[in-house]
Structure 1
Amino acid sequence: MSVLYAQSGVIIRPATTTDRYGNKKRDYGDAAERIPVEQLNVQPSGGSTEDTDDKQVTVTGWLLISAPGTMPDLRETDRIEVDGIGADGQALEVAGKVGRWPAPFEMRHIEAQLKEVA
């Protein structure tokens, strides 16, 4: 394994629940599925923005790239906890679609934009 892809994490796949009004919603709590993943590289991307109008909120962008030859099953509705990234126990949100490169010569991998809201 390359030192560039030494990070690991846990994909948090939400369960679908129904609220008291009959609406379906995603549950990232105890009912969510937790899927371990390895061989990741997560690095800053797009900087940070702050919103101080109503309350202090900082949104930081991250880029996740999986090692060549890997295709983790990360979905746009998932969240992910990555070792050493974000506040303790805070999951990063997948921002948009996950890019998939299923190239025929073992260079396949995924890329995803993540965001941390603190």
Structure 2
Amino acid sequence: MFFDQSATRLRAPIVRDRHGNRARDWDQATREPIVGVSIQPFSQSEQADPGARDRLTTGWRLQTPPGRDLDLDATDRVELADGAVCEVLGEVARHQDPFGRGVHHVEVALVRTSG
């Protein structure tokens, strides 16, 4: 596995919307580069409903090299090198080093739905 790819972490602040509810303000998201990772496609599905828009869902797996943690939360988004913005699917998996030296590597499922 090669760890020569990059992406951008998007982290949005929580604000009050016009109804007083807490919501993420993605227009004000901070951008932080993620470098030296592997990003590979892992799934794709298409849902075609008569009378509705076709929906395409694509998934990727982002993985760090051994010995590297990643400042990424389940509530963040990740912008891939091609500009596609993905949601973090589920929790960020931090695999522990078997010898007790902290995080061995991180794996993150990413998903993008369009249509």
Offset at residue 112 of structure 1 (A): 0.8
Superposed CA deviations along residues 21-60 of structure 1, whole A, max 9, x for unmatched, are: 100111222x111111111101111x21112222121001
Give the TM-score, by structure 2 length: 0.86
The one-letter code matched in structure 1 to 2:57 is: V
Pick one of 26, 30, 33 that aligns with 1:33: 30
Aligned counterparts of 1:106 and 1:4: Cα–Cα separation in 2: 22
Cα pair 2:15 2:25 within 8 Å, conserved? yes
Q: 1:67 to 1:52 in 2, by over 3 A?
A: same
> Percent identity at matched positions?
34
The one-letter code matched in structure 2 to 1:116 is: R
Give the TM-score, by structure 1 length: 0.84
Determine which structure has the larger strand proportion and give its number.
2
Does 2:88 match 1:94?
Answer: yes
2:80 aligned residue: 82
Structure 1 residue runs of 4 or more that deviate by more than 3 Å after TM superposition: 104-107
Cα pair 1:68 1:106 within 8 Å, conserved? no
Gaps of 5+ in 1: none
The one-letter code matched in structure 1 to 2:45 is: T
